[in-house]
Amino acid sequence: MTTKTLFITGASSGIGAETARAAADAGWNVALFARSQDKLDALVAELGEARALALPGDVTQMADLEHAVRETQARFGQINAVFANAGRGLDTPGVAEGDPEEWRSMMDINVMGLLFTVKASYGALQESKGHLVLTGSAAGKRHIKGSIYGASKWFVHGFGGNMAEEMREWGGRCTVIAPGMVDTPFFDSPKPDKLQPEDVAHAVMHALSAPARASVQEIFLMPTQ
């Protein structure tokens, strides 16, 4: 059987990198998309060039994503799953003292980058009857006073549900992974008592490995402390 291929955005560190490791361990090829060429190259060296492909690019640029999808198909033949994981937060979270330019930058990644990723890979997923996985958040499941970041993740959850309805018409599946606080470079200081990136990676792989009869539409993952 042809080895399956997973395309990951935000793949150079944190959740994206750990998911690449988990997928490679499970026998998948991994196509790694992120802005940091050096980090991607290091991850490819770790996972092996036969199984991993570095695809430097900006998730807010449709042309970069379209090129990356073509390169992935040329290298591995098909794309069986896409993990739209790239995202960012805000230095100043609320409205009153927030920076509108920072809001725009975050929305470009968290919303438009997500849409561009899905648009660029949609045809490939249709061909393989593939699986779309989106990084949501616990912040997208509850109201947090003044949280603009949380609102961007509400979009992810709503869009993920809409995509699940559309994709099942042609045999595809869509899953939103909604973690609480994860110990990643997303935060300025370490959070060792919270979720680790590998916890989220395991959730992604659980969704991808579900039997064809089962559509895991959301995994809500919280730290125990």
pLDDT one-digit tens code per residue, 39-91: 999 999 999 999 999 999 999 999 999 999 999 999 999 999 999 999 999 99
Residue 146 zone, left/alpha/beta (φ > 0; ψ -120 to 50; rest): left
Q: What is the pLDDT of residue 187?
A: 63
Helical H segments across the chain, by residue range: 14-25, 37-47, 62-76, 100-107, 114-128, 148-167, 197-209
Low-confidence ranges of the chain (pLDDT < 50): 1
Q: What is the pLDDT of residue 191?
A: 73
Does residue 122 carry a catalytic annotation? no
pTM of the model: 0.94
Q: Which residue in 76, 104, 103 sits closest to 8, CA to CA?
A: 76
SS3 content of the chain, % helix, strand, coil (to 5): 45, 15, 35
Q: What is the pLDDT of residue 1?
A: 47
Name the domain count of the chain.
1
Rounded Cα gap, residues 85 and 104, in angstroms: 18
Q: Which of 134, 149, 182, 205 is catalytic?
A: 149
CATH number of the domain within which 94 lies: 3.40.50.720
DSSP, collapsed to helix, strand or coil, labels residue 180 as coil
Q: What is the pLDDT of residue 94?
A: 85
Q: What is the pLDDT of residue 192?
A: 78
Q: What is the pLDDT of residue 4?
A: 98
Q: What is the pLDDT of residue 186?
A: 64
Nearby residues of 156 by Cβ (< 8 Å), 6 or more positions away: 110, 114, 134, 135, 136, 137, 140, 176
Nearby residues of 225 by Cβ (< 8 Å), 6 or more positions away: 193, 194
Full domain range(s) for residue 216: 5-221
